[in-house]
Amino acid sequence: MNKKIFKKYLNWTLDLIFPGFCPLCRNQAFADGEHYSCLSCLDELPWVTGTRCELCGIPMAGIDFRGLRCTNCREENLSFESGRCMMLLDVKGKNLIHEMKYHGVKDVIRDFPAWVERSPGFVEHLVDSILIPVPLHPKRLQSRGFNQSQWIAEAMIRETRGSSEVYDCLRRTKNTPTQTKFDRSERKKNVKNAFALKPGNCLDRENRIVLVDDVYTTGATLNACADTLVGEGFNRISVATLGHG
């Protein structure tokens, strides 16, 4: 049987046994037999396609000449040199990520190839690098049962066609409260010195590192991870997230 046809039948069968819903319109998942979310719904998301901030990836107006930086990034002392995000987090974008992050629906990330088609240049940002997912504290990981940043990094690596690899080499040393209700300054304090490099890692200090997380809000968490790597002698650090907002 053709592999694509088999995949459609498999998804339809799984959906009958374990029914799911498109996180954007709440209609049946795998409506076309292949994609968890409706492709027409994905088309409506605010994908980042044009000129963007070179550090956080947020869209910007104007011509990109030697890199543009948004107001927030100009005011911050960031330890990474570049960044990309795929979409802005409007209500639907948040629903898409929350389905995976808070409901544990890993099938959402199976649509990642369809996402990169809508975010030109994103995969190019990942090639020839080591992707490091932002870690959860062991207590949080035990409670949740998964790290969505690990799922995202694994989806990203499949699109680089073997030019990059995922390396889970950071650990969270502090069980910090969630950042969701903190302002910018509180977020920085919350994650300061909250990460460390795992002992016995085999990273080369000349490697290009891409830190991977689900969303970029103020950049505090990603920058805390980057600070840890800079302190260990790394200087080629970038970030990549699904959403910004």
Domains of the chain by residue range: 1-44, 48-244
- Residue pair 217/242 in contact (Cβ under 8 Å)? The answer is no
- Distance, C-alpha 42 to centroid of its chain: 17
State the average pLDDT over residues 16-39: 84
Q: What is the rounded radius of gyration, in angstroms, for the C-alpha atoms of the chain?
A: 18
Q: Is residue 15 predicted with pLDDT exceeding 50?
A: no
Exposure b/e, 221-235, CB count within 10 A at least 16 = b? bbbbbbbbbeeeebe
What pLDDT is attached to residue 16? 46
State the average pLDDT over residues 67-94: 95
Where residue 21 falls (left for φ over 0; alpha for ψ -120 to 50; beta otherwise) is beta
What pLDDT is attached to residue 62? 78
What pLDDT is attached to residue 20? 77
Range picked from 11-20, 28-37, 155-164 for highest mean pLDDT: 155-164
Over residues 184-207, the pLDDT tens digits come to 899 999 899 999 999 988 899 999
Model confidence pTM above 0.75: yes
Q: Is residue 82 predicted with pLDDT exceeding 70?
A: yes
**Rounded Cα gap, residues 239 and 223, in angstroms:** 9
What pLDDT is attached to residue 184? 87
Give the confidence band of 91 by pLDDT, cuts at 50, 70, 90. Answer: very high
Q: Which two tokens stand for residue 111?
A: 């649509």
Q: Is residue 7 predicted with pLDDT exceeding 60?
A: no
